[in-house]
Amino acid sequence: MKMDHEIIIIGAGGIIKDAHLPAYKIAGFKVAGIFDLDTEKAEKLASHYNIPRVFNSLAEAVQASNVATVFDLAVPGREILNVLKEIPDSSVILIQKPMGEDIEMAREILKFCREKNLKAGINFQLRYAPFITQAKELIAEGKLGEICDIEINVNVFTPWHLWGFLKSLPRMEILYHSIHYIDLVRTFLGNPQGIYAKSIKHPSSEELASVRSNIIMDYGMFKRASILTNHNHGYSEKYQRSFIKIEGTKGAIRIEIGVLKAYPKGKDDKFEYIFFDNNEDWQEIKVEGTWFPHAFIGSMEEMFKVRKNNDYIPDNSVEDCIHTMSCVEAAYISSEQGGIAPGEI
């Protein structure tokens, strides 16, 4: 893609440092400037990534924008609306997930984007991870047949101390992590009929709202979608795991997500497949790139397509991603309501 576009980044936190900027460097995307309330953080990133301008205010960043600009917004969910109010009408903007901290906030963001005619996308970047692109290609070729089972299983040790702001949030694990998997299941199976969920704390992470979740997305009697996460498996790496398994009527795919193990250093990914129509066991495909940072290229490319063609509706538009937020809200409601007590039957 010809680079007629330029990115102005709002926010200089860890996700910008560890994922956005490395991805844009790999892709050759032009970053015109960066703003953060902590100017020192912005200056450090600008120096490291040769970003030509560090803005002293959001207003200065907005003033520097033009018809080629794509805003890249990476602030806490509760601050998204405040920033959007300062963004010019009809702008193109990529918003770091989540789309607000609850469904009401998400609806306000959607309403505001419509009123200001903002071409906005949400950075649910797992959709664009290279191993997911590879899976979609095999599915599109009909190699798996009809998808009937998706399982996502994460049993790792996540260093939550890297994100200090999480300690103050009433919602955590689903909203800031499993939301990716909910969104991913939606990209394969569409919107579910219902959600069953339970999200809980861990004794060693009492300051966090939750760090473990069980989620079932209901697609009727012939399709199963389950998400199981435990971020406090702080033992040896022997039984740590993080995989996505997709089964169809003709074959299956298993993806080992390496980045979640020994985060942030991570391990290698592994992409395997098996088909019923041959006698071979599981086969491996070497996939170039990984979730962090390569998937972030795809999220921004969707916004570049909008800049190129104003009528283009990005795959990750707020109009689509509001449904992911509805699923997240349903999961929290289900978790709060609890199960059926056998003693009451």
Report the run of H or E that residue 198 belongs to, with start and end.
Answer: strand 194-200
Q: How far apart are the first and last CA of the chain?
A: 61
Stronger pLDDT, 77 or 110, i.e. the higher one: 110
Which CA distances in Å does 54 have to 10, 13, 58, 306?
A: 10, 14, 11, 26
Pairing outcome for strands 270-275 and 283-285: antiparallel
pTM given for the model: 0.95
**130-181 per-position pLDDT tens digit:** 999 999 999 999 999 999 999 999 999 999 988 888 898 999 999 999 999 9
With helix as H, strand as E and coil as C, how does 215-257 read? EEEECCCCCEEEEEEECECCCCCCCCEEEEEEEECCEEEEEEC
pLDDT of residue 164: 83
pLDDT of residue 107: 98
pLDDT of residue 280: 87
Q: Is the peptide bond before 293 cis (omega within 30 degrees of 0)?
A: yes
**189-236 per-position pLDDT tens digit:** 999 999 999 999 999 999 999 999 999 999 999 999 999 999 999 998
Residue 4 has pLDDT above 80, yes or no: no
Pairing outcome for strands 194-200 and 69-73: unpaired
**227-258 per-position pLDDT tens digit:** 999 999 999 889 999 999 999 999 999 999 99
| CA–CA gap between residue 59 and residue 329 (Å, rounded) | 33
Residue 2 has pLDDT above 60, yes or no: no
What is the token pair recorded at 165?
């702001």
Count of other CB atoms within 10 angstroms of residue 29: 22
pLDDT, mean of residues 262-280: 90
Q: Taking Cα atoms as reference points, which of 297, 37, 334, 70 lies closest to residue 165? A: 37
pLDDT of residue 338: 93
**15-74 per-position pLDDT tens digit:** 999 999 999 999 999 999 999 999 999 999 999 999 999 999 999 999 999 999 999 999
**305-327 per-position pLDDT tens digit:** 999 999 999 999 999 999 999 99
| CA–CA gap between residue 214 and residue 339 (Å, rounded) | 13
Structural domains of the chain, with CATH: 6-125+294-298 (3.40.50.720), 127-285 (3.30.360.10)
pLDDT of residue 165: 84
The DSSP letter of residue 29 is P
Residue 1 has pLDDT above 60, yes or no: no
**82-133 per-position pLDDT tens digit:** 999 999 999 999 999 999 999 999 999 999 999 999 999 999 999 999 999 9
pLDDT of residue 73: 98
